[in-house]
Structure 1
């Protein structure tokens, strides 16, 4: 399934509610895939100010990611769009790592925290969950929202204390959920031995699931406008 035949159906304003350079890069390349052949979409970057302080009690890691993504998107929509923008799409996402023990691992706060994460993941399978929220308001003012999550399983190599110590001395772990980025081949990517599922989801944004959800949302808002 490709977004290319549907680019002309997107609203005039498309906003990514995140400061993540990885999400921005993936979405920018998706929305403007062939600049010489098709008019691409100018992606606005408006980071959410949501505190990301939802309680994890009683929630699965995937549900926590979905709820956080939804809260991020709603904060940006209410602050920057609302009823004054009649053609807008707000895209928000949140990625978390679920440890082998089932704990939600977000971004480590210091070296000790990052070291603990690496020790938990070493030699084990874990899950990466990305929650995505899409808020689409048509030119006629009809609003439809959808939220979903995608999960990828990742297995780390067995990490020696020396490797963990050297890795956590770099800047790599501290702006990434679970303390690593798979896309950095010389650093976090070299810790990964195997994955099962969507690679882009581990990078931070599940491209194929997003495209499918967005096309379905465009169809729903069209049906609502036509009714």
Structure 2
């Protein structure tokens, strides 16, 4: 994926800085989100891309990957916005939808994408560009207390999915480390499917703590 304006980097220091920064000023040209706003709400939709606002400064982008085993799979990524800067977690599944996403962020959010964080090497988050693997990454946006778990975290009632590169024995312990590191989590975004609260972490832990993985 051609992202000349985005720097690829490991995220933790940048997210911490982003989360501690001052709140951005509202754009007079767009609707102000009140504290009573209901989330999630769809703010953009095209043929291959959806964007949902899930908290005042956090968005989920959803694109689609056609697979032999699972059919058409919705793939989640996150956009964390602080002032006029945005961090994107995971690319969309194609160059075309990535270009659309970047344009939408610039035009509608009035924010400049400054970093792309790819949480693992599979096509669902690389687009055109341990637990799951030793290099698996998650992102925590402290400003909105949102955890982007990527494919480490499963939506409620999901199956285990593709495990070809996974260390399933390490999965429950990794989830426990996340819960201990970020006790104030309010929203959890999985790699696929609906976001939720800490119950997604509990569900994922229990899914991989089954007898055959002990």
Q: Same fold (TM over 0.5)?
A: no
Q: TM-score, normalised on structure 2?
A: 0.27
Higher strand share: 2
Structure with a larger share of its residues in helix: 1
Higher Rg of the two aligned structures? 1
